[in-house]
Amino acid sequence: MMLRYALTRFVSLFLSLAVASVVIFLCIEIVPGDPASAMLGINASPETLAALRAELGLDQPKLLRYFDWVTGMLRGDLGISYTYRAPVAEIVADRIWVSFPLAVFALILSTAIAFPAGIWAARRRGSFGDTALMGLTQLGVAIPNFWFAVILVLIFAINLRWFSAGGFVGWDAGVFAALKSLTLPAIALALPQAAILTRVMRSSVIETLDADFMRTARAKGLSAAQAVRRHALRNALIPVLTIIGLQFSFLLAGGIIIENVFFLPGLGRLIFQAIAQRDLIVVESVVMLLVFAVIVVTFLVDLAYAWVDPRLRQRS
């Protein structure tokens, strides 16, 4: 059952990727003129333009170029960046080792805050503590993460001098040092996410606390806390998983501002600079990579659903 479900999800993952690649390719094609003229701007001489066209392979037919691009990606060849004069695959590989750990770090922080907080508030629904916490999360949702970033830098880097204000020491400096330089950015990213997730977790737990099967569990002799642990949590997790999946995609792709605030050499800054410099080869590849990541995360969330909920395993 589970295997069949996973297979059908896998097929839809593959189809989504194929569609996404066509859309991204066409978007780049739609840019007025062609990528070469977009990159060089309006003052470029016809000779330079023709040279760049040949270099990028723009003189080939579209269909052929699409297949070259896709098969290139499958081989791990993302082309050569025009501004960096280096293989895009290498640049991306460097950057992904910043962005991916940062996103995972932030997600772990936000769930570590949101799960206990959401459950705590749900069990004390309507109490002073619950109201106060919900007020805090309201603030957390409203305040943008870069503001948190600035405040964190002020407190922990400038006043207390516990962390550096920005930059990334690299994984060569040791796991601890690397994680330390990612800590403030991860907290800044995680706080607004945690606020959202706490609210979702709280309402989801409240809903399951009122479910009939919780009464059955109490009638069976489970204490209130045992009933929550054994029966409510897994049921409450189903809607929360969706939000976690969406949040991870956002954290991976949406860290642009935070990466800029902290001068982190991540994917967000790469794509930001590439757009500014009209390096369409890099833009195209990084966007495809992010789409790939988002689709894979969605696939994993789908699998997690089925793992949690037996009714889904059967429906496929």
Three-state SS string across 224-292, please? HHHHHHHHHHHHHHHHHHHHHHHHHHHHHHCCHHHHHHCCCCCHHHHHHHHHHCCCHHHHHHHHHHHHH
Instruction: Specify whether the CB–CB gap between 52 and 36 falls below 8 A.
Output: yes
Note whether 161 binds other proteins by CB under 8 A. no
Single residue of 81, 198, 235, 298 touching other proteins by CB under 8 A = 235
Q: How far is the CB of 230 from other proteins (least distance, A)?
A: 7
Give the interface segment with other proteins, choosing from 72-80, 165-173, 174-182, 227-235 (CB under 8 A). Answer: 227-235
Q: How far is the CB of 116 from other proteins (least distance, A)?
A: 21
Note whether 316 binds other proteins by CB under 8 A. yes
Q: How far is the CB of 205 from other proteins (least distance, A)?
A: 15
Note whether 139 binds other proteins by CB under 8 A. no
Single residue of 8, 48, 71, 138 touching other proteins by CB under 8 A = 8
What's the Cα-to-Cα distance from 120 to each of 111, 113, 198, 280, rounded to whole Å?
14, 11, 10, 48
Note whether 131 binds other proteins by CB under 8 A. no
What's the Cα-to-Cα distance from 293 to each of 62, 100, 245, 256, 289, rounded to whole Å?
26, 10, 11, 16, 6
Give the interface segment with other proteins, choosing from 16-24, 165-173, 183-191, 210-218 (CB under 8 A). Answer: 210-218
Q: Which is nearer to other proteins, 8 or 71 (CB)?
A: 8
Note whether 218 binds other proteins by CB under 8 A. yes
Pick from 40, 19, 44: nearest CA to 31 = 40
Note whether 229 binds other proteins by CB under 8 A. no
Note whether 269 binds other proteins by CB under 8 A. no
Q: In whole angstroms, what is the distance from residue 224 CA to residue 215 CA? A: 10
Site string for other proteins, 12-41 (x = CB under 8 A): x-----------------------------
Site string for other proteins, 75-94 (x = CB under 8 A): --------------------
Instruction: Specify whether the CB–CB gap between 264 and 168 falls below 8 A.
Output: yes
Pick from 230, 206, 72: nearest CA to 126 = 206
Note whether 3 binds other proteins by CB under 8 A. no
Single residue of 2, 196, 222, 246 touching other proteins by CB under 8 A = 222
b or e along 167-186 (b: 16 or more beta carbons within 10 Å of the residue's beta carbon)? ebeeeeeeeeebeebbbbbb
Note whether 231 binds other proteins by CB under 8 A. yes
Q: In whole angstroms, what is the distance from residue 218 CA to residue 62 CA? A: 66
Note whether 219 binds other proteins by CB under 8 A. yes
3-state secondary structure of 87: strand
**Residue for token digits 């305040």?**
143
Helices (H) and strands (E) in the chain, counts: 15, 0
Q: Which is nearer to other proteins, 61 or 221 (CB)?
A: 221
Q: Which is nearer to other proteins, 5 or 82 (CB)?
A: 5
- Residues near other proteins, by CB under 8 A: 8, 11-12, 211-213, 215-223, 230-231, 234-235, 308-311, 314, 316
